[in-house]
């Protein structure tokens, strides 16, 4: 019998802390209501549902509009659990890290559940150890269910896991919700991502190479392969008995706890929509995707480019997020290279002009852009918060309104900055972690980063994100234009939001590229499939969305959807896949139903209650 190696021990030692009572109560309310779209997250007995290794899954489900409910193993073994009353659920998730240990009772119950028609998402090291923390077999106990051998400790010992780049067909990456640029190369121009069979790798900002830990796998996999690495199968799904198993050979929960949430969100949505064909509450108003275009205006050298941009077609669209560093200096106190917002009437006029255009004016850090970024760290809040206050105050004196968005100079953003911003009314900030994701409340160092202030991760083109970085890393104008076009198609087709940012001096050489991009976005806006958003617009919507309570009940051959919100359900949108649901019919309340290519969309109107019905297809 072998003990678990230290590499896994390190992953398992996430910090423990309870989240706010409001979040926990919300999950308890859902747990007490039978809902046909509910997903069960299996948690070992004795582990609190408020453990961050549990809540990272629940919160990701909330952000994706899914109903994920935690259940202890004993509740799953007992089909009449007092936790949920009615054991109706759509699928089961066996998570990484927190559920590495599992006895024969629970593994046999899971095997039986799937073989009888259940749907299972099994993640990384889940159920690879005995209850005593040992490897007792030459492979993971559920290898037969997964369809490939893994956790090969007896033969590979410490080499049973490897860190490797992940690759897959672009069509699959798109289906997983991985945006262009987060994978690279982009593929053939003019071919929709959903149809492109070329293979690409997942990448990271600045460094390019992105390696993830996964188990070495052995044997021929008889299912649908999604992702691979040189270690073998990274993700795939297949039939086992009458059921389906999605195997994800990545530590999803652990990654999301440490600012890499895209894999967790991607596979949760894939499991819910592609494997289970479940409905979900969409993360964008009216179900219309878009881009937050975040302008970082940080020193005096940005003034001329801004004035030049005022003649471009870009100003005819928007609204955009425009964030200023307000002090008179930049690299050092007294260098006079800053914007000097309190005294520079040219900059003041630009700010007022952008306000008239409907843009959101925010804060770009602490008074002196480069000085602030170079001196900021996790320990010096007492010295550095004065610069945040100075910057906010200077901008507010010009706009006459509170600052509600923030972007960190050089991406340097300690957690204490988030806490300071939340206390001072800021609801959104640009973020260089969790790249490729949509807006998220996020986790840092294993703990929830906030409850009402939303991080907006950047979308990058392989190693570059801002326009001035594109030539540095060798991306041609044609590649930059292709990325902008495909990113726009991505948000429109997936009905999600992503953030792209730039500095004015870096964009001026791309005037022609940006003009053509604006032609494309104008066409999509006119078609009603794309919008520009500001960070606070989306953050406000998402904070309202958190209060929506909704359930799905199966009654005979129909599904009854019921939703409530204490203020309004306006702009809240449900997506119902056509493979499972017929055209919805409004029973009560105010809503509009519109068809998409593969789904129905129910868009809420004014009112606090809504009910609609849809016939279950093939039932």
Distance between CA atoms of residues 487 and 321, nearest Å: 18
Torsion angles phi and psi, residue 104, rounded to 5:
-60, -35
Give me the pLDDT at residue 13, please.
28
Give me the pLDDT at residue 33, please.
45
Give me the pLDDT at residue 88, please.
73
Q: Of residues 88 and 246, which shows the higher confidence score?
A: 246
Model confidence at 619, in pLDDT bands (50, 70, 90)?
low
Tell me, rounded to whole angstroms, the distance of Cα 88 from its chain centroid: 28
Torsion angles phi and psi, residue 315, rounded to 5:
-75, -10
For the segment 532-538, the average pLDDT, to the nearest whole number, is: 98
pLDDT, tens digit, 9 for 90 and up, residues 356-369: 999 999 999 999 99
pLDDT, tens digit, 9 for 90 and up, residues 129-164: 999 998 877 899 999 999 999 999 999 998 999 999
Give me the pLDDT at residue 14, please.
32
pLDDT, tens digit, 9 for 90 and up, residues 86-118: 447 899 999 999 999 999 999 999 999 999 999
For the segment 577-586, the average pLDDT, to the nearest whole number, is: 97
Quick one: three-class SS letters along 245-290? EEEECCCHHHHHHCCCCHHHHHHHHHHHHHHCCCCEECCCHHHCCE
Instruction: Tell me how many degrees the CA angle 68-74-75 measures, rounded to the nearest 5.
Output: 45
Average pLDDT of the chain to the nearest whole number = 92
3-state helix, strand, coil in the chain (%, to 5): 35, 25, 40
What is the assigned CATH class of domain 291-460+495-541?
alpha beta
Spell out the residues 6+ positions from residue 205 whose beta carbon is closer than 8 angstroms to its own: 432, 435, 458, 460, 463, 464, 465
Q: Are 320 and 535 in contact (CB under 8 A)?
A: no
Among the residue ranges 18-22, 431-435, 607-611, the one predicted with the least confidence is: 18-22
Percent of the chain with pLDDT over 90: 90
For the segment 535-559, the average pLDDT, to the nearest whole number, is: 96
Instruction: Tell me how many degrees the CA angle 492-494-496 measures, rounded to the nearest 5.
Output: 75
Q: Are 504 and 297 in contact (CB under 8 A)?
A: yes
Q: Please, what's the b/e burial string for 559-587 (b: 16 or more CB within 10 A of its CB; e: otherwise)?
A: bbbbbbbeebbbbbbbbbbeebbbebebe
Among the residue ranges 1-15, 79-93, 176-190, 198-212, the one predicted with the least confidence is: 1-15
Q: Are 604 and 570 in contact (CB under 8 A)?
A: yes
The predicted model scores a pTM of: 0.93
Using only C-alpha atoms, the chain has a radius of gyration, in whole angstroms, of: 25
Give me the pLDDT at residue 3, please.
30
pLDDT, tens digit, 9 for 90 and up, residues 274-307: 999 999 999 999 999 999 999 999 999 999 999 9
Read out DSSP for 508-527? Answer: GGGHHHHHHHHHHHHHHHHT
The 3-state DSSP class for residue 573 equals strand
Residue 67 has pLDDT above 50, yes or no: yes
In the chain, where the domains are located = 2-161+214-280, 291-460+495-541, 547-615
Distance between CA atoms of residues 136 and 159, nearest Å: 17
Give me the pLDDT at residue 9, please.
30
For the segment 521-529, the average pLDDT, to the nearest whole number, is: 98
What dotted CATH number matches 547-615?
Answer: 2.60.40
Torsion angles phi and psi, residue 175, rounded to 5:
-65, -30
Tell me, rounded to whole angstroms, the distance of Cα 599 from its chain centroid: 21
For the segment 179-193, the average pLDDT, to the nearest whole number, is: 96
Q: At what angle do helices 381-399 and 345-356 cross, to 10 degrees?
A: 70
Give 2-161+214-280's CATH code, choosing from 3.30.2350.10, 3.40.50.880, 3.40.50.1580, 1.10.3470.10: 3.40.50.880
Distance between CA atoms of residues 38 and 118, nearest Å: 13
């Amino acid at each position: 019998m072998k003990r678990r190696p230290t590499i896994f021990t390190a992953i398992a030692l996430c910090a423990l802390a309870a989240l706010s009572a409001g979040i926990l109560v919300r999950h308890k309310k859902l747990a007490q209501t039978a809902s046909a779209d509910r997903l069960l997250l299996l948690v070992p007995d004795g582990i609190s549902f408020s453990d961050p290794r549990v809540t990272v899954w629940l919160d990701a489900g909330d952000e994706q509009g899914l109903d994920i409910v935690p259940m202890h193993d004993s509740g799953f073994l007992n089909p009449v659990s007092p936790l949920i009353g009615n054991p109706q659920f759509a699928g089961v998730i066996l998570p990484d890290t927190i559920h590495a240990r599992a006895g024969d009772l629970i593994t046999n119950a899971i095997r039986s559940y799937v073989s009888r028609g259940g749907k299972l998402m099994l993640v990384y090291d889940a159920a690879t150890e005995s209850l005593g923390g040992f490897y007792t077999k030459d492979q993971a106990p559920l290898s037969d269910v997964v369809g490939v051998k893994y956790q090969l400790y007896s033969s590979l010992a410490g080499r049973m896991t490897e860190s490797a780049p992940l690759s897959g067909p672009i069509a699959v990456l798109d289906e997983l919700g991985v945006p262009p640029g987060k994978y690279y190369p982009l593929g053939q121009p003019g071919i929709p991502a959903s149809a492109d069979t070329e293979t690409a790798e997942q990448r990271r900002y600045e460094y390019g190479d992105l390696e993830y830990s996964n188990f070495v796998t052995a044997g021929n996999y008889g299912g649908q392969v999604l992702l691979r690495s040189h270690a073998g199968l990274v993700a795939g799904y297949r039939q086992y008995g009458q059921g389906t198993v999605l195997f994800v050979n990545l530590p999803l929960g652990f990654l999301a706890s440490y600012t890499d949430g895209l894999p967790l969100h991607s596979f949760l949505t894939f499991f819910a929509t592609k494997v289970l064909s479940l409905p979900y509450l969409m993360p964008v108003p009216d179900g219309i995707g878009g881009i937050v275009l975040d302008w970082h205006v940080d020193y005096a050298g940005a003034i001329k480019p801004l004035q030049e941009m005022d003649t471009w077609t870009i100003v005819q669209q928007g609204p955009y997020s425009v964030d200023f560093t307000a002090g008179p200096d930049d690299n050092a106190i007294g260098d006079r290279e800053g914007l000097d917002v309190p005294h520079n009437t040219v900059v003041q006029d630009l700010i007022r002009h952008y306000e008239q255009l409907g843009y959101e004016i925010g804060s770009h850090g602490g008074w002196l852009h480069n000085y602030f970024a170079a001196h900021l760290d996790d320990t010096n809040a007492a010295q550095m918060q004065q610069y945040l206050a100075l910057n906010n105050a200077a901008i507010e004196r010009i706009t006459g309104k509170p600052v509600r968005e923030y972007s960190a100079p050089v991406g340097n953003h300690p957690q204490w900055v988030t806490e300071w911003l939340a206390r001072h009314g800021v609801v959104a900030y640009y973020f260089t972690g969790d790249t490729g994701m949509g807006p998220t409340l996020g986790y840092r160092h294993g703990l929830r980063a906030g409850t009402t202030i939303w991080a907006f991760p950047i979308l990058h083109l392989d190693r570059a994100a801002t326009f001035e970085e594109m030539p540095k890393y060798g991306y041609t104008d044609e590649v930059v234009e292709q990325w902008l076009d495909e990113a726009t198609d991505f948000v429109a087709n997936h009905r999600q939001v992503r953030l792209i940012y730039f500095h004015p001096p870096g964009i001026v050489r791309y005037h022609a590229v940006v003009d053509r991009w604006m032609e494309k976005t104008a066409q999509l806006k006119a078609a009603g499939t794309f919008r520009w958003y500001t960070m606070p617009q989306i953050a406000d919507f998402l904070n309202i969305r958190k209060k929506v309570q909704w359930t799905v009940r199966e009654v005979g051959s129909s599904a009854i959807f019921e939703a409530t919100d204490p203020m309004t359900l306006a702009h809240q949108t449900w997506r119902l896949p056509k493979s499972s649901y017929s055209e919805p019919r409004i029973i009560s309340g105010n809503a509009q139903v519109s068809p998409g290519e593969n789904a129905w969309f129910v868009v809420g109107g004014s009112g606090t209650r809504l009910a609609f019905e849809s016939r279950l297809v093939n039932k």
